[in-house]
Amino acid sequence: MDTGHSPSKRQLTSMAKIALTEKEHEICSLLNNVVDHIHTTTNQQLTLRIAGGWVRDKLLGLASHDIDIAVDHMSGYTLAHHVTTYMQTHSLATSSVGKINSNPERSKHLETATTKVLGHLVDFVHLRSETYKEDSRIPLVEFGTPEEDARRRDITINALFYNLQTREVEDFTGRGLKDLQEGVVRTPMDAEQTFRDDPLRVLRVLRFASRFGYEIDGETARAMHRVEVRRDLDKKISRERVGVEVEKMAAGERPLLAVQLILRFNLFECVFRAPPRDMWTDDVAVDAAAAESVTRCMLKVLDGALLHAHIPSQYNVTLRDRRALILASYVFPFHAAVAADRKRQAPVALLVVRDGLKLPTNDADTVAAVHTLAPRITEMAALCCAGPVERNTLGHLVRDAGARWVIATLFAAAVELHNGKSADQVVATFSAFMGAVKDAELEDAYKMKHIVNGRDVATLLKCRTGPGIKPVLDRVMDWQLAHPRGTHDECREFIVKEIAPHMPL
């Protein structure tokens, strides 16, 4: 098996037994009552199963709130309406039935219905089979058997069912329970054909292998190494879908393992798609291996709590911040590159996140910001270690960084670890910077307003308001940062005495 890591195997709660919560028991019982009612009134016999991730997680003893009901011989949308009608007749609270239409371009191959059952959001789909044409990843979807539905899924541990009638786990691939027990990720059917049918499954294999720390089955790994599979992933899958998988990897439990697997299967260029080289302003070398090193160092900063004691008390590094820092680490190999972007230029890392992964603009901006700010903060931190730094110099950097100055400092620390500095050196350097900012009471400097506004400045200088006032306001802010106790009148005096005489008539 191709892994390069030790899997984190979990002991199953019981090989084929699931312990339901009280709410889950109530939902299953109600759905069984609906099935009995349908059979009594229409003579139609249905079997309901919970499918996929919920079954896997419950067997691993993990909480799961994503209940997906798979039904045979009926559409999920029709079943959802039967459920709401039954609840209404029994004076139970209901909600409308939502329909999520199939969208093959976004790997959504089947219509899904969703509604609340006893206050819990539940999805309803029908069991299906999928067949693919050689030149398309969009399948022909038809009603299928449980065996067919299980075989068309991405990996065996995601192909387990929980039968609501028998209250038993069903493993129609014959491998799902064993793979879950042994910590193995493999495709239910021939791996190469599975990936050629839907290349997105390559990334899903990587995501679940990294999420659980599981090994990748040898046959599955060999198929992932094939050039044709990588080509199909690059050509057939929308960038939005690639971005969704990368985002989940970055937010997952083992983001380092995720990027290690991306590199091991030579998928870095395909996953982190950059603009064509002829759009780059310079021929910058891209060292993909740096993504692994910086990610490891970033996690050392975050999880090792190297600088946590020095982070201002009003700041909390959120899960969203953590994900953004991991994304910035993933695309660090592009940090020195710039490319044409419409009529201007932009960091290649920003374009990779924005266009190559189709992630939100805020993510792209944050990645670009921490890349740009890291060397500036490192330089300032070195100055702080050498001796006192003028308050306005510190303040301008915090204002330029804005609310991102804390996470940019953490990223700068990770980059210095990557560059070979010891943990002790990094802590000494960046704690000096954070301490200087705190001592100067500049943690929120980016929120500061001008003590004298543009209109007052124009009045004092007897000139018009407009863009020409900005350089004056910049000097006003510089004065404010240097004189934290300065008053409005003192600032006006500064403008009259120091700025007005040098203004053009």
What backbone torsions phi and psi does residue 109 show, to the nearest 5 degrees? -90, -5
Three-class DSSP category at 128: strand
Three-class DSSP category at 348: helix
Report yes or no: 125 and 110 within 8 Å, Cβ to Cβ: yes
State the pLDDT at residue 313. Answer: 85
**Range list of H helices, 122-190:** 146-151, 176-182
The conformational region for residue 320 under phi > 0 = left, psi -120 to 50 = alpha, else beta, is alpha
Count Cβ neighbours within 10 Å for each residue of 72-102 and write b for 16 or more, e otherwise. Answer: bebbbbebbebbbebbeeeeeeeeebeeeee
C-alpha span between 282 and 382 (Å, rounded): 29
> Quick count: other Cβ atoms within 10 Å of Cβ 148?
16
Unique residue bearing structure tokens 């879908």? 241
Walk along the chain (505 residues) and give the pLDDT tens digit of each residue.
Answer: 444 444 444 555 445 689 999 999 999 999 999 999 999 999 999 999 999 899 999 999 998 989 999 999 899 999 999 999 999 999 999 999 998 765 445 444 467 899 999 999 999 999 988 776 665 556 667 788 999 999 989 999 999 999 999 999 999 999 999 999 999 999 999 999 999 988 999 999 999 999 999 999 999 999 999 999 999 999 989 999 999 999 999 999 999 999 999 999 999 999 999 999 999 999 999 999 999 999 999 999 999 888 988 898 888 899 999 999 999 999 999 999 999 998 899 999 999 999 999 999 999 999 999 999 999 999 999 999 999 999 999 999 999 999 999 999 999 999 999 999 999 999 999 999 999 999 999 999 999 999 999 888 888 888 888 888 889 999 999 999 999 999 999 999 999 999 888 876 4
Residue type, 132: Y
State the pLDDT at residue 7. Answer: 41
Unique residue bearing structure tokens 């050629």? 196
Structure tokens given for 104:
């093959």
Which residue, 4, 63, 12, 62, is CA-closest to 183?
12
DSSP 378-426: HHHHHHHHHS---HHHHHHHHHHHGGGHHHHHHHHHHHHHHTT--HHHH
Report yes or no: 387 and 424 within 8 Å, Cβ to Cβ: no
Kindly report, residue by residue over 388-413, the tens digit of the pLDDT. Answer: 999 999 999 999 999 999 999 999 99
Question: DSSP label at 475?
Answer: H
C-alpha span between 408 and 158 (Å, rounded): 38
What is the pairing mode between strands 112-117 and 120-126?
antiparallel
